[in-house]
Structure 1
Amino acid sequence: MQKIVPLIVLMAACQPMTDQVQVNPVNIAQPAPHVVSDTLSGPPATADTTLFNKIQLLLVHNKPSVKWPVKTEYPLPGAILPYKRIVAYYGNLYSAGMGILGALPPDEMLQQLSAEVRKWEVADTSLPVQPALHYVAVTAQGKPGASGKYRLQMPDTEIDKVLQLAERINAIVFLDIQVGLSTLQEEIPMLEKYLRMPNVHLGIDPEYSMKNRQPPCTSIGTFDAEDVNYASSYLSKLVQTYGLPPKVLVVHRFTQGMVTNYKAIQLHPEVQIVMNMDGFGSPAKKLDSYKGWISNQPVQFTGFKLFYKNDVATGGHLMTPEEVLELYPRPVYIQYQ
């Protein structure tokens, strides 16, 4: 993998346009009250179907519906979800503007993440919390670069730094891919040596998948179920080949067009798919987006992103864990940017 370490990295120059929440006109149903139950233990060594079923009911406020919980196989041993809730910091070490992961000095960033973890532990005593660093390892670019693909692959030295930071707080790591004019088929294998590690998982971002061959940020990109299935199948084979615990695959979404043919997304027991609501705005807009494109179009598990700056700057506020826990279903992946 040939990588160039730039003096100045052009990070997702379209931040003002991207991540905007698309408002779904459907009214928000009032969620059931938060139910506090006895603390549940972490992932079992073998499949614990009773524990799994209990957690699945908690995530839907003990009110199962036709869509939720999603009917799926029981998790394989070592699975993180739904036995723990993942709380992640997102960003890139080169960029203070891309997310909280790169906005603070490392020590302060880890301390703040640990503080957020404690808030979630207090807000929902039913699930342990797993801290995570969600690092954008392939970033969309405003210029084509030498490859002509409008994306920049981060050097291994930067990924190694993130792994070292994660180790300090027993966090897991997500490597996120913004393909630009490239493809998942080209980018995911480049990261295989990291994805073979048991503590490293994957994120893919349709927003910057420019199938129209236009530069990133000129429009919102898209992935089809075929793209998600490629990523999931790739991870599934890694788990089988190397005897790894199940991988988590995070798919970002905040519009209908970002993920097409969601019903054709295939589930594998080796991979746990999280559809992550990735838009900023007021709580009402964020909840509408979550209901429209995450809750109403179920895949497997759900996630929710919180923006320290953009949620406030657009007239809203940073939603509290208690507010997020009112969602139906409750997200098991929380991301701060």
Structure 2
Amino acid sequence: MSSAGRLLLRAPLVGVAAALVALLLVAGLVGRGDDRSAGTPVAAGPGPAAPPPSTSGSGDHAAYVVMAGAPIAVRPALPGGGYRVFGHHRFLVAYYGTAQTASMGVLGTTDPDTMQRRLMRAGRPFLEPGEQLQPVYELIVTVADASPGPNGDYSHDIPTPYVHEYLRTAHRHHALLLLDLQTGRADFPTVAKRWAWALKDPSVGLALDPEWRMGPHQVPAHVIGSVDADEVNRTSAWLSRLVRRHDLPQKLFVLHEFRLTMLPDIQRIVHRPGLAMLQHADGFGTRGQKLATYHAITRPAQFRQGFKLFYHWDIHRFTPQQVRGIRPRVSFVSYQ
């Protein structure tokens, strides 16, 4: 038995709380201050005994410590440890797309486990000394459509078994799952709430894609959509409350953009507690065109920055080293 275990067993009743804290510190289940100052986390190992069954359907990754026969829930952590998305010197690299098809991005070109191996190979060259790679699966879960569909909103949700499959893969490989919404004429808060069951999982974040947010008379792929700050703020407020209500670690919250008109009043978007808010530059083309787009839209005082690389549509695609040289600095790269 470890010294921490002996401490817990021998502690008198009045010292149980202190002994429990000592045990949790040894187990790595209690945060040690701001993750941004932390070094490389301890490698993930097998967890404690199985917790009581979850009724959320999300496979929530709360940790449990058993004392006097009763399970005590401990705040769930992010994959790799900690509670801040960009803590532990993480650099995020994603594959983007939807399930069972390559037509919308590289994520769906193969099975999830093979995708994970390819993603890690693509991501490692981005790392600078002292950093660790955080894999991300950006899965389009609500897909914009050219026809109105039964609800008249020009979008549809992918089947939930596909989402469960990517979530299980994310758990196995300590990855983040980022749910991407292309909502057509439906508003972002309404659609986001349909995915609450998955967003209760500590590994799951949310991305909004204004390109596919249509007005009342617009049709996806015929125009480039947009969303105002009020709708973004209502979505982020709901997600922030979800984080607080379920005592979750920080969630990645991504806004895609490649034209100023997509987020016309971006300066009014509010920073929310519990969310790592990131503005993601999506444009494709030559290096010069992509940099011009990036510098036109970025607001580094308001958000962290993301950058998309296209396997087929970029001309002389940026190398990882060139991406790391971009200013303002990029914290998250996705491949499509």
TM-score range, shorter chain: 0.7 to 0.9
1:108 is matched by which residue type in structure 2?
T
Letter in 2 for 1:161: E
Q: CA deviation at 1:51?
A: 6.8
Relative to structure 1, the CA distance from residue 49 to residue 172 in structure 2 (aligned partners, 3 Å threshold; closer, same or farther) is: closer
Q: How does 1:143-292 map to 2 (within 5 A)?
A: 143-292=147-296
Structure 2's unaligned 5+ residue stretches are: 1-29, 40-81
Matched residue, 1:16: none
Structure 1 consecutive aligned stretches of length 4 or more whose deviation exceeds 4 Å: 48-52
Distance across 2 between alignment mates of 1:302 and 1:46? 24
Q: Which amino acid aligns with 2:84?
A: A
Matched-pair contact (CA < 8 Å) for 2:189–2:238? no
Amino acid at match of 1:252: H
Q: Percent identity between the aligned chains?
A: 32
Correspondence for 1:329? 328
Higher relative contact order (CA 8 A, sep 6+): 1
Rounded to whole Å, the distance in 2 between the matches of 1:110 and 1:44 is 28
Asked if 1:117 is matched to 2:120, the reply is no
1:131 aligns with 2:118: no
- Corresponding letter in the other structure for 1:196: K
Assess, with a 3 A threshold, how the Cα gap between structure 1 residues 210 and 202 changes in structure 2: closer, same or farther.
same
Task: Name the aligned partner's letter for residue 305 of structure 1.
Answer: K
Q: Equivalent of 1:95, from 88, 101, 114? A: 101
Q: Distance in 1 between matches of 2:283 and 2:31?
A: 33
Match of 2:47 in 1: none
CA distance in structure 1 between the partners assigned to 2:296 and 2:256 by the alignment: 14
Residue 309 in structure 1 maps to residue 312 in structure 2: yes
Distance 1:326 1:212, change over 3 A: farther
Aligned amino acid, residue 85 of structure 1: F
Q: Give the corresponding residue for 1:47.
A: 34
Amino acid paired to 2:302:
V
- Residue 83 of structure 2, aligned match among 59, 69, 78: 78
Aligned length: 264
CA RMSD of aligned residues (A): 2.0
Query: Deviation at 1:104?
Result: 2.7
Is the contact between residue 35 and residue 84 of structure 2 (CA under 8 Å) also seen in structure 1?
no
One-letter amino acid matched to 2:96 = Y
CA positional deviation for 1:50: 5.9
What is the letter of the counterpart of residue 273 of structure 1? M
Mapped partners of 2:94, 2:207: distance in 1: 12
Evaluate the alpha carbon distance shift between residue 156 and residue 285 of structure 1 in structure 2; reply closer, same or farther with a 3 A threshold.
same
> How many Å separate the matches in 1 of 2:99 and 2:182?
16
- Partner Cα distance (1:298, 1:206) in 2: 21
How high is the TM-score relative to the length of structure 2?
Answer: 0.74
**Superposition deviation, residue 110 in structure 1:** 1.8
Alignment deviations for residues 123-171 of structure 1 (CA, whole Å, 9 cap, x no partner): x224222101000000000111111111011121110011122233211
| Contact 2:125/2:321, CA 8 A, preserved across alignment | no
The answer to whether the 8 A contact 1:140-1:152 is kept is yes
Residues in 2 aligned to 1:165 and 1:224: alpha-carbon distance in whole angstroms: 34
